[in-house]
Amino acid sequence: MTTSAAGSVSRTGARVERLPLARYTTLGVGGEAEVWFVSTHDQLNEAVQQPYRILGGGSNLVIADEGLSERVIRLSGPLAEADLTPDPSLSTPDQIVTGWVGGGVPLPGLIRRLQKLGWSNLEGTVGIPAQVGGAVWMNAGTRYGEMFDGLHTLEIVTPEGTRRVTPDDLKWGYRDSGIPRNHIVSRVRLKLRPSTPGAVLDAMNFADEARKGQPKMKTPGCAFKNPGGVSAGKLIDEAGLKGLRAGNAMIAPEHANFIVNLGGASSADVHALLDAIRSRVPVPMELEYELWPEQA
């Protein structure tokens, strides 16, 4: 490791810096950790040799104010770029298989590029502020579509090495890819259907309508998964919890499954609201966010 005032550079050239993670989460909460910005497979393979966490768009995370002891990996450079050139050996008149799309690519920009090309299958994920790797790992989606609608091949990196799988190799489902935690989705190839820019845009606008009732403040999205297909937001609303505050965090008055940061919220504020929801809603609910570090 070479160290200077701006941080360090690892043996394989990854930039390493101690940084506040609040900057990398959509909730705007989280203390410091050592962040590894990796842009090659060599750097990724080096980074996973010590305890690590893989950070995507930080749009599903509540990170403790105390920070994290593990290193945090961020995919950057070529691992955050998308090659959308159709692969002629895999594409047919009815199906486009793209080149490699890095796990660090921001999903919203990718969805806009696909719309302009008139390529369908992923437009249902419009409005999800994730990176491709994080969205694939969660199988993020809406009732209009999910990430696994448009995946051909996934490349997964672990301390044991790199492997390639197809969706058929995984047990995926609602908000679940079947990929074990901390197995890094480094790149994927997309499987898309030729359509037209206009038709894809219409479908995106239709799916986006469902977001009209969601709050616009800093938040990590929905707190709980929908239990048995029932809206968790509706259940929390029926328990009378909309607008409940703990410190500088609040259960959004617009949609009860969203906790928002009113400015300067702490991780303890968010935990207090999650506890209130669990104790007041009469149905067992599974957390959709991740708490870093995990709670006992």
Among all residues, which ones are annotated catalytic?
175, 222, 288
Question: Whose structure tokens read 């030729």?
Answer: 194
10 Å CB burial of residue 144 (0-12, 13-18, 19+) is middle
60 vs 115, beta carbon nearer ligand EPU: 60
H helices present in the chain, as ranges = 41-47, 107-117, 132-138, 197-209, 232-238, 267-280
Q: Is 226 in the site for ligand EPU (CB under 6 A)?
A: yes
Rounded Cα distance between 98 and 31, Å, is: 38
* Binding at 237: pick from ligand FAD, ligand EPU, none (beta carbon under 5-8 Å per type): ligand EPU
CA dist 59 to 144, 193, 225, Å?
20, 28, 15
- Can you read off the two tokens belonging to residue 43? 């750097």
Q: Is 287 in the site for ligand EPU (CB under 6 A)?
A: no
Q: Is 148 in the site for ligand FAD (CB under 6 A)?
A: no
Q: Is 265 in the site for ligand FAD (CB under 6 A)?
A: no
Q: What's the closest the beta carbon of residue 3 comes to ligand EPU, in angstroms?
A: 39
For 251-263, letters b (16+ CB in 10 Å) and e give: bbeebbbbbbbee
Site for ligand EPU in 179-198 (CB under 6 A): none
Site for ligand FAD in 188-207 (CB under 6 A): none
Residue count (the chain): 296
Q: Which of 32, 70, 81, 237 binds ligand EPU (CB under 6 A)?
A: 237
Residues that bind ligand EPU (CB under 6 A): 142-143, 210-211, 213, 221-222, 225-226, 231-234, 237, 255-257, 288
User: What is the contact surface with ligand FAD in residues (CB under 6 A)?
Assistant: 26, 53-61, 75, 103, 128-131, 133-135, 137-138, 140-142, 175, 181, 184-185, 219-221, 290
